C-alpha cells in the first residue's frame, strides 16, 4: 500500500478498501465496526462515511468535496479503525499531501 498520495483540496475523497479474510479471522466485515478519520495539517478532524459492500469484503471511505474544500494545505493523515468482538485494531497510517486546485 502506498502510504502517501497527493490530494487536491475541494475534491471528493473516495478510498475503496478490499478485505481478504485471514486464517482464523472473520469471514467478512459485516459484524465489524469500521471507522476512519482524516486529520488535516491544521488539526481539524473529518470523519469519513463508511459504506460497506453487501458481502462485507470491501468498503468505501468517503468525504464530499464540500468537506475537503476546508482541508488545510500540507500533510494530512488517516487510518482505519476496526472493532471486532471487542478487539480494536488499526490500519497502517497513510498521508495525504493536500495541494490547492489550479482551475477554479
Three-class SS of residue 66?
A: helix
d(CA 37, CA 21): 23
100 belongs to a structural domain? no
What CATH code is carried by the domain that includes residue 23? 2.60.40.10
22 belongs to a structural domain? yes
Q: How many domains does the chain have?
A: 1
Half-sphere exposure for 48 (CA within 13 Å, toward CB): 24
* Domain range for 62: 4-95
Task: State pTM to two decimals.
Answer: 0.91
Q: Digits of tens for pLDDT over the chain (104 positions)? A: 568 999 999 999 999 999 999 898 899 999 999 999 999 999 999 999 999 999 999 999 999 999 999 999 999 999 999 999 999 999 999 999 999 999 87
The C-alpha cell at 69 is: 474544500
Amino acid at each position: 500500500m502506498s502510504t502517501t498520495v497527493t490530494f487536491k483540496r475541494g475534491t471528493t475523497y473516495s478510498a475503496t478498501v478490499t478485505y481478504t479474510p485471514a486464517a482464523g479471522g472473520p469471514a467478512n466485515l459485516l459484524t465489524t465496526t469500521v471507522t476512519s478519520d482524516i486529520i488535516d495539517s491544521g488539526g481539524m478532524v473529518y470523519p469519513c462515511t463508511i459504506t460497506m459492500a453487501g458481502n462485507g469484503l470491501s468498503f468505501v471511505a468517503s468525504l464530499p468535496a464540500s468537506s475537503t474544500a476546508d482541508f488545510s494545505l500540507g500533510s494530512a493523515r488517516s487510518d482505519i479503525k476496526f472493532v471486532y468482538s471487542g478487539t480494536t485494531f488499526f490500519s497502517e497510517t497513510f498521508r495525504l499531501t493536500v495541494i490547492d486546485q489550479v482551475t477554479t
